Chains A and B, each alone.
Chain A
Amino acid sequence: MAIGLAHSLMTLPSDPFADASDEALLVAYANGDRQAAAHLTARLLPRVLGQATRMLAHAAEAEDVAQDAMMRLWKIAPVWRQGEAQVSTWLYRVVANLCTDRLRKRGRAMPLDQVAEPMDGAPSALAGMQTQMRMTALSDALSQLPERQAQAVSLRHLEGLANPEIAQIMDISVRSVESLTARGKRALANVLAGRKAELGYDDDEPE
């Protein structure tokens, strides 16, 4: 079932949407096209989930945020104003906002069971646990930052976006992005400074 659904998403027969923009698909969806949602989901959900996972470092929470973000996309489809913003830009903003909302509500201490969920592709259980611990620490540190700093830092350093794109997503100037990321990164380093040993950055050897 799991493989079957993913497979059917990948190989929709005689794909008339292959070259369509995200926006065109969204309009088709709003007009009642039944296949458009499947195409949009196949295109956008992986990145949405990835962004949420990197910011939250928690599988279930990230899935909730991803579903929520996609729900907002479905809801805005009928009133989407064409040509104003790219769908991907809009989604980056929605996911970033949803994640900082979650981070704000998150307490300092993460429940233990969350540490036990290894990320996909972990080389081994032990390394996976350390990676998960580090990602959780990073996410927790992000939660200590002012929201705009956390968003700017995550878009810059976790998503690897360029400053002009971040400026568009956050609707601020490039100069403000530079300032937010610089301050945010410094704050992040300060928050994490006390956890170096715990996270395995104690010794001189890499990793």
Chain B
Amino acid sequence: MMMTNPNDDMLDDLFATARAGARTPGDDLTARVLADAQTEQDNFAPLSRAKPPSLWFMMKDALGGWPALSGLAAAMVAGVWIGVAPPNAVQDLTAGLLGDEVSVGLMPLSYGFETGAFIDG
């Protein structure tokens, strides 16, 4: 294709000229771009930079909100009251289940200290 070669030369020269032409952004363009960036950032920053929720809020949320909390508060008051002035039925129940005197061993017996398994010869 003899006819297209000169055109290709022209095109290649045009491409090369275009590639060689670099432009440094002027300061007003840079300033405009930075101003845009600032404006945009101010628009979405409150969302993405919101403070993490407080511990109180997270607990309330985990328990199920205010209705759950009011029930929890009522149960707590009742518990305190039962501790201060236990009704007879409660006293009888605990006595029946645990006995009047309760002793709790801190060391389980099954470890073998009693049987002398750890005493050499």
Q: In the assembly, what is the distance between CA of A37 and CA of B47, in Å?
A: 18
Q: How many residues of B contact A (CB 8 A)?
A: 37
Residues of the B chain whose Cβ atoms lie less than 8 Å from the Cβ of A78: 44, 47-48
Contact B34 A119 (CB under 8 A): no
CB of B25 closer than 8 Å to a CB of A: yes
Q: In the assembly, what is the distance between CA of A6 and CA of B27, in Å?
A: 7
Q: In the assembly, what is the distance between CA of A57 and CA of B10, in Å?
A: 17
Q: Of the 9-residue stretches A97-105, A108-116, A187-195, which lies at the interface with chain B? A: A187-195
Which chain A residues numbered 69 to 83 have a C-beta less than 8 Å away from chain B?
70-71, 74-75, 77-78
Q: In the assembly, what is the distance between CA of A135 and CA of B25, in Å?
A: 19
Binary contact track B1-33/A, C-beta < 8 Å → 1, others 0: 000101111110111011101111111111111
* Tier of interface size on chain A: 35 or more
Residues of the B chain whose Cβ atoms lie less than 8 Å from the Cβ of A119: 21, 23
Partner of B41, one of A32, A120, A188: A32
CB of B95 closer than 8 Å to a CB of A: no
CB of A126 closer than 8 Å to a CB of B: no
Q: In the assembly, what is the distance between CA of A190 and CA of B6, in Å?
A: 11
Binary contact track A14-39/B, C-beta < 8 Å → 1, others 0: 00000000000000011110100110
Known contacts A41-B37, A135-B18; A32 and B48 CB within 8 A of each other: yes
Binary contact track A121-161/B, C-beta < 8 Å → 1, others 0: 10000000001001101100000000000000000011110
Residues of the B chain whose Cβ atoms lie less than 8 Å from the Cβ of A46: 22-25
Q: In the assembly, what is the distance between CA of A158 and CA of B24, in Å?
A: 17
Least CB distance from B88 to A in Å reads: 63
Contact A5 B31 (CB under 8 A): yes
Least CB distance from A2 to B in Å reads: 4
Contact B15 A49 (CB under 8 A): no
Residues of the A chain whose Cβ atoms lie less than 8 Å from the Cβ of B7: 189-190, 192-193, 196
Contact B21 A135 (CB under 8 A): yes
Residues of the B chain whose Cβ atoms lie less than 8 Å from the Cβ of A71: 33, 36, 40
Contact B22 A120 (CB under 8 A): yes
Q: In the assembly, what is the distance between CA of A77 and CA of B40, in Å?
A: 10
Chain B: residues with CB nearer than 8 A to chain A? 4, 6-11, 13-15, 17-19, 21-34, 36-38, 40-41, 44-45, 47-49
The 5 closest A-B pairs by CB, nearest first: A37-B37, A2-B27, A74-B40, A189-B7, A157-B15
